[in-house]
Structure 1
Amino acid sequence: MNPIDVPTEWNDSALLTFEEFCALIHIPQRTVRDWRRRGVGPRFWRFNGTGRLYTTVAEVRRFTNPVNASR
């Protein structure tokens, strides 16, 4: 299995859509929806209560490399 590579030049506060996140980690959207339902995986937010789901680059880094998240 290949490690997930989040580019180092990406700003931690930048936003990724749900779809972009799924493409980045090469996981089907259905699987990530199941993770959300079970409370697993990165945190996602909706702005104004509706519309697209977003996560931050920092949250993706925390999720993909939990060992370094506390540094």
Structure 2
Amino acid sequence: MNPIQIPDDWDDRGLITFEEFCDLIRTPQRTVRDWRRRGIGPRWARFNGCGRLYITVAEARRFLRTATATTRPAQRKAGDAR
């Protein structure tokens, strides 16, 4: 599987719709709506308080950077007791 990346030529001030973002990260809209409801995931905006949800390209990049920054637990050494 290829890693999720935003094209380098996309302007950070550009806007991505909710649907486009879900397609980009290959995640069902229902899952992303649940993240939003729980206050996790990217920060969304609406124009004039109604209508479609949008995210900036910069926010999408920030979200992907933090979501993919994983720390691997220390590997267990032979003979370690747990």
TM-score normalized with structure 2 length: 0.77
Report the counterpart of residue 34 of structure 2 in structure 1.
Answer: 34
Any unmatched runs of 5+ in structure 2?
70-82
TM-score normalized with structure 1 length: 0.89
Q: Which runs of 4+ in 1 moved over 6 A?
A: none
* SS of match in other structure, 1:16: strand
* Paired residues for 1:1-71 under 5 Å: 2-66=2-66
Find the aligned partners of 1:65 and 1:22 in 2 and give their Cα distance: 16
Find the aligned partners of 2:15 and 2:56 in 1 and give their Cα distance: 5
CA deviation string 1:9-56 (max 9, x = no partner): 000000000000000000000000000001111111000111000000
Q: Computing the radius of gyration over CA atoms, which structure comes out larger, 1 or 2?
A: 2
Offset at residue 4 of structure 1 (A): 1.0
Offset at residue 3 of structure 1 (A): 1.9
Q: Percent identity?
A: 69
Find the aligned partners of 1:53 and 1:18 in 2 and give their Cα distance: 5
User: How many corresponding residue pairs?
Assistant: 67
Any unmatched runs of 5+ in structure 1?
none
